[in-house]
Amino acid sequence: MGSGSLDQFATADVFAMTQAESNTLQKAQRQVLSLMALDSFPRFLNSPQGVKYMT
The phi, psi pair for 18, rounded to 5°, reads -75, 165
| Per-residue model confidence (pLDDT) at position 53 | 62
* 1-55 pLDDT tens trace: 445 555 555 555 556 668 888 888 899 988 888 888 777 777 777 778 767 766 5
55: DSSP letter: -
Is there a contact between 27 and 19 (Cβ–Cβ < 8 Å)?
Answer: no
CA distances from 4 to 14, 16, 29, 33, 51 (A): 16, 18, 31, 35, 53
One-letter amino acid at 17 equals: M
| Per-residue model confidence (pLDDT) at position 21 | 85
The pTM of the full predicted model, rounded to 2 decimals, is: 0.39
